[in-house]
Structure 1
């Protein structure tokens, strides 16, 4: 089974083997900057970056087709990039969001169910007008 948070070659958006597009998808950087960094690293560190590129292109798996369908939503893509970068932080953000929603629901429930005489009076006044 394919892991959603793993590194995959992005052959659909790639130019040669999909390594730079895969790195960009995994890290959240723009693919143009990843490609520029790869070219500069190859120019200044020849032949090691080129060998690493070829090895990654040979060893890494291609991105499963169903992941392309799931990424149609930019919000979904951003969520998975955050999750890959820092899973613990993503979990904390989700928990914080749920705590905030829960707090707001409690406030609404309290306002709705509490005996608020002033509010009841205003509603009765509106009914009798």
Structure 2
């Protein structure tokens, strides 16, 4: 079964303790250092037992990220964009396909149009 790219996974390869902060960083596209600092700041601001409970609950419920989850750095950025803003990602993909479709239409028009100079050269070779 293939791993879903829009699901939260623990990132134990880049994690320090259980991989929750690294998983959040991978999921959102943020740097893991900033996620860790944010968790520490929230904990020190008075949410001590709740952040620990939430951290342990996330570590218990989430699955480990598969080893070859992304093919390349471009895939990583794309899927992080899909998770953070799906509408923008859909719009970007549509614009890329629209551009490719336009270019293919131009090639098809050039290929199927009557090119008299080329036809004359082919006829002269016969």
TM range (shorter): 0.7 to 0.9
Q: Any idea what SS the aligned residue of 2:68 has?
A: helix
1:12 aligns with 2:17: no
Aligned counterparts, 1:90-129, within 5 A: 90-115=89-114, 120=117
1:53 aligns with 2:61: no
Cα shift at 1:38: 0.8
TM-score (norm 1): 0.78
**More helix, by proportion:** 1
Which digits, 9 at most, give the CA deviation of each residue in 1:7-53, with x for residues without a partner?
00001110000000000000000111111111111111222212211
Partner residue in 2 for 1:25: 26
**CA RMSD across the alignment:** 2.2
Unaligned runs of 5+ in 1: 125-129
Task: Count matched residues.
Answer: 118
Partner residue in 1 for 2:84: 85
Partner residue in 2 for 1:76: 75
Partner residue in 2 for 1:66: 68
Cα shift at 1:115: 4.4
1:37 aligns with 2:62: no
Which digits, 9 at most, give the CA deviation of each residue in 1:61-88, with x for residues without a partner?
1112231xx34x1101111111222334
